[in-house]
Structure 1
């Protein structure tokens, strides 16, 4: 029998797929929930897969039974219509948090985003970087939903005493170059992502926290003080990829000055490629 059960929603997505192997531990059962099809558990793999939506209260309540920690990655991971963003990202997160409350899940990690503060300037934070608890200034409907997720996490901690950590993730891909030069600022390596989640799960009685989720990048503009206070020890730096960047003009204007970069001028409610 597993000593610990961790539920991951959105487990078929990019970050969830990375975590399936990186968060596997002796004595731990990973319960993986997604609407999309997932590979079945391999022989001996301590994994349960569940096909369900985060907007389904009954399914989420069942999935939360016996869970020690919940990592909520489920939802739209890019800009889309307001209606879809509201239904899945905002309403879905409320469904997840309420199911966790009913099941007595003591620790919840919420995947927020740098886009919740996209209209803040890169130079606002000074030498330590933008503080993790900077008030929201979203750049898209997607960013609005992430600000709402943070607020819901705060509410469920204050009302019900749940430990909730909202993580403003920069960008988590195998390589930072998926986003070009911008990725050298925002990258959270898959290895560091797992280390950050593990630190958040293990931290004693964090209450409600808002932290940045990035690697220790030379060009980062985000503070890691708050994440390190929970025990996060990043190992990677996107700068090791810098020499692989193709020659291109340096960004100027909004793309260079604001946290959200080009997302600050992209059309609202229209799917973007990343």
Structure 2
């Protein structure tokens, strides 16, 4: 697949979208931005809801690929998750199919497997084919997105790389995050690999940096050409001093999804 140049970035006004719209152009991409909210500093960005199928079809027309970050990024009542993350993702895939877009990079989440026990001690890294165990309606919507991607590959030949993103921030903010942190720069490298690798079909990968405390297997991401350069360990001492090490007896620390498995953060009504 030739290196794509014009990329539709959905969710461009969000936290991850803001980071990626700053970093991806250095990898050679021209970004077409879309969000339901205005994108600061981008007067040409498309303001549209994922429910607006006509607007989505116009937005995807002529692009080489799509990075789909839009949607609700925390837990919320099912009706809101259904509209934004499930129906919205379906609408985007339909627009891509109708306009012949060859590839989507889908922002899945570690919360698709959030009830998976976290590795302790010498336990092996969590493989990408571990059974899905969503920890929230939000995580459930990411399972749907992965299955939708598989269906559109099998039925229509539309390729997808589904990235189970950990936590992409400038710095990790918790001891748990030391294991799933994705530096913004590594995030851009992973998206670039997902956009340019050949013959991906539907590929699922974990999205994190090469953290010393890594919980999951990055081999499928590395097979795309991803070479993470960052590690959360320089932040570890300060976080451990402030918060303590993870405690296997604490329910919030027992599973990959952390406190999403016990007290998920709720999106405001």
Normalising by structure 1, report the TM-score: 0.90
Tell me, yes or no, if the aligned pair for 2:176 and 2:246 is still in contact at 8 Å. Answer: no
Find the counterpart in structure 2 of residue 250 from structure 1: 245
Q: CA deviation at 1:249?
A: 3.7
Partners of 2:219 and 2:50 in 1: how far apart?
31
Tell me, yes or no, if the aligned pair for 1:40 and 1:49 is still in contact at 8 Å. Answer: no
Partners of 1:9 and 1:206 in 2: how far apart?
21
Tell me, yes or no, if structure 1 residue 73 matches structure 2 residue 73. Answer: no
Q: CA deviation at 1:26?
A: 7.8
Q: Secondary structure at the match of 1:247?
A: helix
Find the counterpart in structure 1 of residue 25 from structure 2: 24
Distance 1:236 1:126, change over 3 A: same
Partners of 2:233 and 2:41 in 1: how far apart?
36
Matches within 5 A, 1:1-274: 4-25=5-26, 28-41=29-42, 48-123=44-119, 129-177=125-173, 180-245=174-239, 246-252=241-247, 253=249, 254-266=251-263, 270-271=266-267
Distance 1:128 1:215, change over 3 A: farther
Find the counterpart in structure 2 of residue 45 from structure 1: none
Partners of 1:126 and 1:138 in 2: how far apart?
24
Partners of 1:174 and 1:27 in 2: how far apart?
22
Tell me, yes or no, if the aligned pair for 1:115 and 1:142 is still in contact at 8 Å. Answer: yes
Partners of 1:26 and 1:173 in 2: how far apart?
19
Tell me, yes or no, if the aligned pair for 2:71 and 2:85 is still in contact at 8 Å. Answer: yes
Q: CA deviation at 1:125?
A: 12
CA RMSD in angstroms, aligned pairs only: 2.0
Name stretches of at least 5 consecutive residues in structure 1 with no aligned partner.
43-47
Number of aligned positions between the proteins: 262
Runs of 4+ in 1 over 4 A off after TM superposition: 124-128
